[in-house]
Amino acid sequence: MRAALAMAPALVPFVFGEPERARLQHLVEIDMTFAATSLPAIPEPAGIDLLIAGWGVAPLEPGDLDAFPALRAIVHWGGGIGPLDAAASSRGIRISTARAVNAIPVAEFTHAMITLAAKDAFWASRRYSAEQRFIDREAELPHTGLYGTTVGLVGASTIGTLVAERLAGSDVSVLLYDPYATAETARRLGAELVGDLVELARRSGILSIHAPEMPATRGMISRDVLAVMPDGTTLINTARGSLVDQDALVAELQRGRLRAVLDVTDPEVLAPGHPLYSLPNVFLTPHLAGSTGSELRRLGQAALAEVERFVAGEPFAHPAP
Residue 319 lies in a domain: no
Residue 321 lies in a domain: no
Domain of 42?
Answer: 3-97+293-311
pLDDT score recorded for residue 81: 60
Do 69 and 206 belong together in one domain? no
Do 24 and 164 belong together in one domain? no
Residue 317 lies in a domain: no
Partners of 50 in the β-ladder: 3, 73
Q: How many angstroms separate the Cα of 69 from the Cα of each of 35, 48, 50, 54?
A: 20, 8, 11, 21
C-alpha 281/C-alpha 256 separation (Å) is 7
pLDDT score recorded for residue 206: 98
C-alpha 267/C-alpha 121 separation (Å) is 27
Q: Which residues contact 225 (CB under 8 A, 6 or more apart)?
A: 197, 198, 201
Tell me the per-residue pLDDT of 25-47, one tens digit each, with 9 for 90 and over: 999 999 999 999 999 999 999 99
pLDDT score recorded for residue 4: 98
Please give the positions annotated as active site. Answer: 240, 268, 287
pLDDT score recorded for residue 78: 84
Query: Whose CA is closest to 320, among 12, 74, 35?
Result: 74
Q: Over the chain, what is the mean pLDDT?
A: 95
Residue 318 lies in a domain: no
Residue 316 lies in a domain: no
pLDDT tens for each residue of the chain, 321 residues long: 999 999 999 999 999 999 999 999 999 999 999 999 999 999 999 999 999 999 998 888 878 899 999 999 999 998 666 556 667 877 889 999 999 999 999 999 999 999 999 999 999 999 999 999 999 999 999 999 999 999 999 999 999 999 999 999 899 999 999 999 999 999 999 999 999 999 999 999 999 999 999 999 999 999 999 999 999 999 999 999 999 999 999 999 999 999 999 999 999 999 999 999 999 999 999 999 999 999 999 999 999 999 999 999 999 999 987
Q: Could you tell me if 172 and 147 are in contact, meaning their C-beta atoms sit under 8 angstroms apart?
A: yes
pLDDT score recorded for residue 86: 65
Residue 57 lies in a domain: yes
Do 257 and 231 belong together in one domain? yes
Tell if the pTM clears 0.85, that is, is over it: yes
Query: Whose CA is closest to 144, among 232, 208, 228, 260?
Result: 232
Domains contained in the chain, number: 2
C-alpha 53/C-alpha 49 separation (Å) is 13
Do 30 and 140 belong together in one domain? no
pLDDT score recorded for residue 84: 64
